[in-house]
Chain A
Amino acid sequence: MTATLDAAVEPARLSDEDLSLMLTIRAFEDKLLELFGRGLLNGTTHTCLGQEYVPVALEPLLDPADHVFSNHRGHGHYLARFRDPEGLLAEIMGREGAVCGGVGGSQHIRRDRYLSTGVQGESLPVAAGVALHLKRAEPGRLACVYIGDGTFGEGAVYEALNIASLWRLPLLVVVEHNGIAQSTPTEAHLAGTIAGRAAAFGVGHLLVEGADVPRIRRALAPVVARARAGEPQIAEFRTHRLGPHSKGDDTRPPRPARDDWLARYAAAHPDQVERLERAARAAVEAVAADVAARPPTRWERP
């Protein structure tokens, strides 16, 4: 039931569009950490540095009518779906133009069929309910849920996988297995394997290694099709969280450059990266200047 996509040795050239999106997410997250450092952001945030390619790889495989459930580390998921750094930054900064009026903040965002929640594992049963609705009312659509390796500590995950498998719900679980749950390494929080847990519920499992986006898409396409047909699937990305859990709270030793898909890709395709990275950073810079100058949101409790 488990298939494996091994890491590619040489990263294949990406389209400008894909690379731009990945670099925009990178620039956005870097900007957030910088704004925090300067005391310009409130509360907390969780950046997806190093994991940008995951939602970008998935994006063309999902339909706008599919539901996406994101988690606390969701900026990349949102940006890949909507390409809207203004709305997201305004939400995080509580400024006019915020997607959710500044009420939800970084980890509680709802737009169209996209929704994020801040409690680990909580979205899986909800996604199963949405998938039940889709199965009856809109066959062919699916509910896609992003979780992390740490989320497998939550019982809600297993209750939902059990129901999704029993009821043959169109559910795709994307695991961003980045090897670290806040500060706890996977070896200290996860017994057995995610593949073993999928097998226990009769749920399909694909292990995705490497960051070769076109190759990942080819491997994922049949998995997504099976999920649409009512065979729940887990796509487990072995990835790397390059940054801290939130901000300035990384207790790990410095990570090698090979952990960063961008460093590997830039070594193979330096000109394309340089050209698009400059543009992405300039665009995010302009968004940040614009949003920071906006007035605060106003909320009338509904």
Chain B
Amino acid sequence: MRVAENLNAALHGLLAGLPDLYVLGEDILDPYGGAFKITRGLSTRFPDRVLSTPISENAITGVAAGLALSGDAAIVEIMFGDFAALAFDQLLNFAAKSVSMYGFRVPMRMVVRCPVGGGRGYGPTHSQSPHKHFVGIPDLALYEMSPFHDCLAVFEEMLARAEPCVFFEDKVLYTRPMHAVEPPFSVSVSDGVARVSLEDSPDCVIVAGGGVAHRVMAAMRSLLLEEEIVCTLLVPSRLYPFEADVPAAPYVFVVEEGTAGGTWGAEVAHVVHSRLWPRLARPVGLVHSAASIIPAAPHLEREVLVSEAAIHRAIREAVRG
């Protein structure tokens, strides 16, 4: 099963199981089924609760907050995660704040889905990984789609938090298969964190969101074969607040596609430093895209976005010197 199918099946399952759940977004109705076809079939089965909206990201997110405030649940599709900037006030100043600013906890069951990431030539305003802009907002949890986490379980977890969540979906994952890992690596999932590893204890632990997992796994493979460096990859479903049991290893890296500066990785590094500093050989390394906009032309885009080669190089240099 491809990741897009897993996500689509999750939305079908949620709408079937939760009679008070709405799905809102632009162009999400059949036969179009959303810009990335993730909502395909939903409006045919649930025409009253799958609503196509005007091009109004701020209002759609506010409407979702209003539904949540009324006791319903809502999932919003932002066509491109870049446009979540237009919904920022509703997320920052209303939806997240409402959970606690009225003195008592107000449950807010809502998820804002954001297709993100580059590699498809969509250019500077349709290719970003805007995670960092949402890190550190009280009562706003951040999740990322991964090939190792069943989307239905992740959405059930987000709605059970009863606080607004942003769910980042790297667009390059949609066509990838679920749960695929090439030997000799194997994958296991516990406490919401997928772990791709060998039996040997690792020289290096890499923390990464689901969107860059394939690039990291390719680098892990070449590091093993060419340099005999053993890496373990941790892919948390929930990016923020960040919690993961990082195995003992002298080197820790965080890999993400977001551009340099104020990154999610810096937040992860801080958490890891606070807990593991004495046993690290050097500070947590951050591997991310360049401090740049994301160009449209493929050769220029490749120069900016984080790549398998960049991950390999950073880890080899740290471990081998």
- Which A residues have a C-beta under 8 Å from some C-beta of B? 98-104, 108-110, 115, 117-119, 122-134, 136-137, 143, 155-156, 159-160, 162-163, 166-167, 299, 301-302
Contact = CB atoms under 8 A, between A and B. Distances in A.
A77 to B, nearest CB: 15
B134 interface: no
Interface in B92-107: 93-94, 97-106
Contact of A122 (B90, B99, B100): B90
A124 B58 CA distance: 10
A33 to B, nearest CB: 25
A299 B101 CA distance: 11
B66 A156 contact: no
B76 to A, nearest CB: 11
Contact of B103 (A117, A128, A160, A299): A299
A129 B56 contact: no
A103 B54 contact: no
Nearest to B49: A136
B188 interface: no
Nearest 5 CB-CB pairings of A with B: A129-B66, A125-B62, A101-B103, A302-B105, A159-B59
A125 B59 contact: yes
B100 A132 contact: no
A127 B102 CA distance: 17
Contact of B64 (A115, A129, A137, A156): A129
B65 interface: yes
Contact of B54 (A104, A163, A302): A163
Interface string B48-76: 10010110101111111111111110100
Interface of B: 22, 48, 51, 53-54, 56, 58-72, 74, 89-90, 93-94, 97-106
A125 B61 contact: yes
Contacts of B72: 133
A292 B62 CA distance: 37
Given A133-B71, A162-B54, A163-B53, 14 more contacts: A101-B103, A119-B89, A122-B89, A125-B59, A125-B62, A125-B90, A128-B59, A129-B66, A132-B67, A133-B67, A143-B66, A156-B62, A159-B56, A302-B105
B103 A126 contact: no
B102 A110 contact: yes
Contacts of A126: 62-63, 65-66, 69, 90, 94
A237 B61 CA distance: 29
B24 to A, nearest CB: 9
Given A119-B89, A127-B66, A103 B59 contact: no
A302 B104 CA distance: 6
Contacts of A302: 99-100, 104-105
Nearest to B67: A129
B163 to A, nearest CB: 10
Contacts of B106: 110
A123 to B, nearest CB: 8
Contacts of A162: 54, 56, 59
Nearest to B100: A302
A163 B66 contact: no
A123 B65 CA distance: 10
B90 A129 contact: no
B94 A119 contact: yes
A166 B98 CA distance: 27
Contact of B66 (A98, A119, A128, A155): A128
